[in-house]
Amino acid sequence: MNAAAAAAGPAAATEILHDPDRRLWLLSGPRTSYLIALREHDILVNLYWGPRISLADAAEISDGHLAGGASSFGAAGDGREEYPVDGGPRFAQPALAVQRGTVRGIEWTHRGASAEGTGLRLDFHDAGHALDIALHYRLRPGHDILERWTELTYHGAPAAPEEFTAADAPLELLRADAAAWPVPARDGYRLSRLHGRWAAETQLTRGPLARGTTVLASRYGHTSHAENPWFALDDGTADEEHGEVWSAALAWSGSWRIAVQQLSNDAVQAVGGPGHDDSGVARLEPGESYTSPVFAGLYSDGGHGAASRAWHAWQRAHIVPDADQVRPVLYNSWEATGFDLTEQGQKDLATLAAGLGVELFTTDDGWFGERVNDRAGLGDWTPNPDRFPDGLAPLAEHVRSLGMKFGIWVEPEMVNPDSELYRAHPEWAQHRPGRRRTEMRNQLVLNVAREDVQEYLFQQLDALLSSAPIDFVKWDMNRPFTDAGWPGEPYPRRLYLDHTRGVYRIMDRLRSAHPGLAIESCSGGGGRIDLGVLQRTDQVWTSDNTDPLDRLTIQHGFSQIYPARVMCAWATDSPNWLNGRVTSQRYRMRSAMAGVLGLGGDLTECSEEELAELAERVAEYKTVRHLVQLGELYRLRGTGDGTTVVEYAAADGAEAVVLGWRQGPHFGASAPRVRLRGLDASARYRTADGKAEHSGSVLMRHGLELAELKGEELSSTLVHLVRV
């Protein structure tokens, strides 16, 4: 057992307990508890979210909870409700708002509860709208992440009073969030969020939570570069290893909104779900149901570092496919060839890549249709006959013969006006009648909400994957929605929801039809990274920005919620294509070693010495990749002072790897010393090269000097420690 686990003590069993007299439920993970209870008018409130407590403790908390605090300008339940609805004396942001005919508002009654294993379902009913509302909770054994989602079923039967509309009238879901997260009262709150833009994704920002409503959202039609659907709250004192942190993440890859509210009664609550505004999510006909995506939450009293490690472990165990297997070292041909690719040129690159120890060779854009530039070909997913006269099979078989897997780039949701697909089906592109079709990057967005579009894309991609031994697909999306219209559709707003569902459906069908297929999520870099897409992809493209120094900041923010196991990072040529920065090959490679290592430079321009060093660095990465991708992450030094240090430790403390980067020694500063985490204090550790040996206690309490970070500008280090 490592030091962190020993200090925390043994984990308790995951369980859901019920006190029927007090109408409360206590959901407990290994180290945390979440307490909810029904109050007057069947209002469901949160009474506690923090370190694990007993049912007796829960009863005492419930008995001491007083409803008071209401006035003509406030409601007692504001900020404490588990699922605030539009209607009645509520002034917080509602999670659910519906309209049937001209009637709005929800008045529910509790219908019952059922628990199965570590899952809980609470049922409510609104008689006026003939609407069933089921609130779902789930804890996975061994994890403290609480998964929540909501299911709505509309029956269509009218009820008194008479002003309710006809039985067959549809019910519009103006807002249908997954959950609300009430946060316990503290003296102050600090909000952590991930914002950014293209080439500058997942920038971590922490600052005081403003009173009122802070909205995190995407109206882009995908997760977006601008915001990521995750947030964390603390009282302003939490650091990497100490303090209380509450965080939540939405598992959705389309437009979304999370509203974090600090109300006039000082309560803090966040609601979140699909859709960027209140103009409508879905419309239900009688007998139809809607199920929201999961909105997952976590409490940790071990600071932001422990929260990240809990998120990572849960995703590797229950979200990411095959996450117990390390991802291969990848080479991508884009920066070497751009659109100017040939079958022989790709074979030559593959031969060079195999000599470096690369395990997955990927041919990027330009292999299909009339795709000789970015103005044509999207939508025509058959190999270009001039470049690949016999299809992709000869190239794929050559790659396989070199001992590597073979992958391709696709952008299924897009279409160029100059394509066979668009000429045959211009109506398949998102557009609004009488309005200009906005082109970005010379392309339009297909309406993947349409079932015929879904079927076309599946058939095209299925045939492609069946035509050659293709192991990997880089699924890109290089522009957002702009003209999200659907002529002829009675409820065109559903495009936002059903486009994303359609993408999920195609991915799921392809994985089922082609066992072993791996998918990388890409959207102009990191524009589609979230817990929803990660359920059906093996890794994500973190950013188009491959500058190794910029990437450290991007990767730091990424690691707050997402594990290194899914973070694809490339080492490319110097000077960097984006900003012209000149860096050493060692620095570039070690920056990329913090995740799933990829190479993306032009290997044909490398000298023999450069190729030899690349091979050496690939071999170096392979000795520690099991720790990077599957180990526990400790952020030892952030990016604020120009020095970044991360540690990946085995869960049992048997070994660890320390990666460090420094912009340069300032004012004659000495080499940094970092105190490690997650080791066995009673053991001794030897560096993998056999040159040094250290006490685990000394490494954690006194620290490890990173001598390689004392010298030149943009220096890096890698120290692999193994328990003796």
Active site residues: 476, 544
Contact criterion met (CB below 8 Å) for 589 and 296? no
Residue 474 in marked binding region: yes
Closest Cα to residue 230, out of 210, 199, 208, 204?
Answer: 204
Beta pairing class for 200-208 and 119-126: unpaired
Q: How far apart are CA 403 and CA 414, in angstroms?
A: 33
- Would you state the structure tokens that stand for residue 413, as one six-digit string? 């949701």
Exposed e or buried b per residue across 32-51, where buried means at least 16 C-beta atoms within 10 angstroms of its C-beta: bbbbbbbbeeebbbbbbbee
477 annotated as ligand-binding: yes
Q: Is 522 annotated as a binding residue?
A: yes
Q: For residue 203, which phi and psi values (nearest 5 degrees)?
A: -85, 120
How many residues can be counted in the chain? 724
Cα–Cα dist 524/476, whole Å = 7
290 beta partners: 152
476 annotated ligand-binding residue: yes
Q: Show Cβ contacts of residue 326 under 8 Å, excluding neighbours closer than 6 positions.
A: 565, 625, 626, 629, 630
Please tell me whether 256 is known to bind a ligand.
Answer: no
How far apart, in whole angstroms, are the C-alpha atoms of residue 677 and residue 241? 10
The answer to whether the annotation marks 198 as part of a ligand binding site is yes
Cβ atoms within 10 A of the Cβ of 377, count? 27
Give the side-chain half-sphere CA count within 13 A for 704: 33
End-to-end CA distance of the chain: 15
**Cα–chain center distance at 111:** 35
Tell me the backbone φ, ψ of residue 371, rounded to 5 degrees. -85, 75
Q: Output the CA angle 403-363-468, nearest 5 degrees.
A: 65
Task: Answer whether 254's CB lies under 8 Å from 286's CB.
Answer: no
Is 475 annotated to bind a ligand? Reply is yes
Nearest to 684 by CA among 721, 637, 713: 721
- How far apart are the C-alpha atoms of 19 and 439, rounded to whole Å? 59
Q: Would you tell me the crossing angle of helices 451-467 and 494-513 to the nearest 10 degrees? A: 30
* Pair 534, 540: CB distance under 8 Å: yes
HSE of 247 in the Cβ direction (CA atoms, 13 Å)?
31
The reply to whether 365 sits in an annotated binding site is: yes
Asked if 632 and 559 count as a contact pair (C-beta separation under 8 A), the reply is: no
Rounded distance between C-alpha atoms, residue 654 and residue 69, angstroms: 54
Q: State yes or no: 544 annotated in a binding site.
A: yes
Annotated binding-site residue? 606: no
Provide the annotated binding site. Answer: 198, 364-365, 441, 474-478, 522, 544
Provide the annotated binding site for substrate. Answer: 198, 364-365, 441, 474-478, 522, 544
